[in-house]
Amino acid sequence: MDAVILQILNGLDKGSAYALIALGLTLIFGTLGVVNFAHGALFMLGAFCAVTLSKIFTISYETIDPVRKDFLGNPLKVETPYIFDWFGPDVGTAMIEWSVPLAILFSIPIMILVGLSMERGLIKYFYKRPHADQILVTFGLAIVLQEIIKYFYGANPIPTPAPPALTGSADFGVLLGFDAGSIIYPYWRLVYFVFAAVIIGGVFAFLRYTTFGMVVRAGMADRETVGLLGINIDKRFTIMFALAACVAGLAGVMYTPINSPNYHMGMDFLVLSFVVVVVGGMGSLEGAVAAGFLLGVLESFASMGEIVSLLPGINQIIIYLVAIIILLTRPRGLMGRKGVMEE
C-alpha cells in the first residue's frame, strides 16, 4: 500500500508538467485550430526565465578585501552581487535563494510577450493552411528557439536549486500511519503539484466564470456562429494563445529544481505532451489534464522494480503503448469531441 502511494506521488510531478503543457496545447488547438509543435519550446523558455533571473541576481562586482588573504597570500577578491547593495545582504541572499519562485513574476510578462508576438507574427498566417503546414512551421520555430537558447546558455544542463527552505523531504509514511521512511517525498515536488493544481483550477475558473472565458468556450465549440454575433473572436483567441504560452512557461519555471533545464527539454516534453493530448482527446481540456496525470502516474508505476523485472523496458514505452492502444480502441481519445480533427 505504501509503495502504491509512493508511486502515485512520484507520478504527480511529471503528470503535472504533462497536464500543464497539454492544457496549453489543447487551448491553442481548440481556439485557434493550430497544432503547435513549438509548445515544448515555450516550456523550455519558461525554465530559462528562471535560469536568467538567478543569473541576473548574482551579477556581481569585485572588491578587494584588505584584511583577508587567499591561500596564496594575496589580498582576497570578494564578489558582491549588486542586489546586496540595493536591498541589503539579507534580502539579497533571500532573493538569490528564492529566485525560482520569484521567476514566476519575471516570466509572466516575458511569456505573454513571446506568446503575443508568436501568434501575431507567425501563427495567424497559418490558420487557413493545412495542419501539416502548421506542424512543419512550428516544428521549425521550435528548432530555432532551442538553438537560440543553446547559443546563449550552452548545451549542458544548468542546475537551478529550489529555495533551501523547500529542498528537504517530507516523510509521509509517518503522517499516513505507515512505517517511518516508507514514503519520502521532496517538498518541492509537492509544491509543484499544488502549483499545477492552482494554475489548472485558475484556467478552468477563468473559462467558466468570466464573460471572456464563456465567449472563448463558445468560440471553441462553434467559431463561425460566435463570429456572426459580432464578437471579435480573433482578438480573444490571440489572448488565449498568450495565456497558453504563459501556462507552459510557468510549468517550465517551476520545473527547474526537479530537473536541471537544458535546451532540448522542450522537445522531450513536447512529444510526450502530444501523446497526452491525443490520449485525452484532441480539443478536450478536461481530457488533457486527466490524461496528463494518468500517464504521469502510469509511468511512475511502470518504473517500479517489480514491474520492470517482470516486463523489462516497460517504463520506457508505457506512455506510447497506452497511447497506441487508446487511439486504436477509442479513436477520439478519452474525452474527445466528435468531429475534431477527423479526416
Partner 1 sequence: MLGLNSKDKTLFLIVLALTMFAPFLLNPFPEGSELAQFNAGYPDLMQRFVIFGIFAIGFNILFGLTGYLSFGHAAFLGVGSYAGVWMLKLLTMNVVPAIIVSVIFAGLFSAVVGYISLRRSGIYFSILTLAFAQMSFALAYSVLTPITNGETGLQLALNDPRILDFDAADGSLPATNFFGIEMRDGFELALGPWLFTFNFGYYLCAIIMLIAFYISIRIFRSPFGLMLRAVKTNQQRLRFTGKNPKPHTLAAFIISGMYAGLAGGLMVAMDPLAGAERMQWTASGEVVLMTILGGAGTLIGPVLGAGVIKYFENIFSKINDNVLYNWFSFLPDGMQDAFVFMIHPFIGKGWHLTLGIMFMLVVIFLPGGVVEGGQRLRQLFSRRGGSDSAGGASSAKAHPAE
CB of 292 to partner 1, least distance (A): 15
Report whether 326 contacts 333 (CB < 8 A). yes
Distance CA 297, CA 7 (A): 7
Nearest to partner 1 of 100, 118 (CB atom): 118
Nearest to partner 1 of 135, 334 (CB atom): 135
Nearest to partner 1 of 305, 312 (CB atom): 312
Report whether 173 contacts 181 (CB < 8 A). yes
Angstrom CA distances, 147 to 18, 35, 77, 152, 220, stand at 23, 21, 36, 9, 33
Q: What is the separation of C-alpha 230 from the centre of its chain, rounded to a whole number of angstroms? A: 35
In this structure, the chain runs to a length of: 343
Query: How many CB atoms lie under 10 A from the CB of residue 286?
Result: 15
Q: Which residues bind partner 1 (CB under 8 A)?
A: 35, 122, 125, 131-133, 135-137, 139-144, 147-148, 150-151, 267, 271, 274-275, 278, 282, 312-313, 316-317, 320-321, 323-324, 327-328, 331, 341-343
CB of 215 to partner 1, least distance (A): 26
Look-up of cell digits 505507515? 178
Nearest to partner 1 of 227, 331 (CB atom): 331
- Residue 273's nearest CA partner among 251, 243, 242, 246 is 251
Q: Which three cell numbers stand for residue 208?
A: 467558466
Nearest to partner 1 of 139, 206 (CB atom): 139
Task: Give the torsion through C-alpha atoms of 10, 13, 16, 18, to 10 deg.
Answer: -90
Nearest to partner 1 of 139, 178 (CB atom): 139
CB of 125 to partner 1, least distance (A): 7
CB of 264 to partner 1, least distance (A): 9
CB of 276 to partner 1, least distance (A): 10
Look-up of cell digits 493530448? 277
